[in-house]
Amino acid sequence: LKKKGLKVISAEDFLMPSNDNILFDADDPNSEKVRLLKNAAAEKIKIIVDSICNNQGKIRGQNFFFKILSHATGILMKLYRRWLHYHKFYVDEKCLPECRFCEQICPVNNIKKVATQKIIFNRTCILCARCINCCPTRAIQYGKSQKKHRFKDPDYCPPILR
């Protein structure tokens, strides 16, 4: 951010529900666990906004341990993405001919629909799982299992990016 001329005035972390259904099973968006996590995050956001408005924003992760952990996580994600099996993404017969929703919501422009049942998943995926979780027909799959739970929060509508 500094390279872009932006100044960070506050940074916090949140416990949030898991939407990772590529490697694991996503949390049920209607569960009590998810409700409690969302409520706690909403309360924390109010506190953070107040602190920023009062020029008391704070930046977490400034100690040595968090800097090392942050760098290690970044390296591991780069390695994981490098060896991610992109050929395991596919669409099944539920894919609608005119639908391009996954293509429109992908934050890194990784998805291209080239035919009715043909979607190309490029190598720029950041593993956000937005395409899998938000597909209106659950047509996007990864790997062999189609029984994994999808995390579609009823309070969230992904932005159309293109």
pLDDT truncated to tens, each residue of the chain (162 aa)? Answer: 778 888 878 777 777 777 666 666 777 888 898 899 889 999 999 988 998 889 887 776 566 777 787 778 778 777 766 666 666 788 888 889 889 999 999 999 999 988 877 888 888 888 788 898 889 998 988 877 666 677 777 777 777 776
- Residue 92's nearest CA partner among 123, 118, 125, 128 is 118
Q: Strand 140-142 vs strand 111-115: parallel, antiparallel, or unpaired?
A: unpaired
C-alpha separations of 43 from 9, 19, 27, 37, 116 in Å: 19, 21, 21, 10, 44
What pLDDT is stored for residue 146 in this prediction?
66
Q: Cα-atom radius of gyration of the chain, to the nearest Å?
A: 18
Q: For the chain, first and last CA: distance in Å?
A: 24
Which tokens hold the place of 57? 């924003």
Closest CA to 21 of 162, 131, 108: 131
- Residue 61 is predicted with a pLDDT of 56
Q: What is the pTM of this model?
A: 0.66
The residue with tokens 């659950």 is: 138
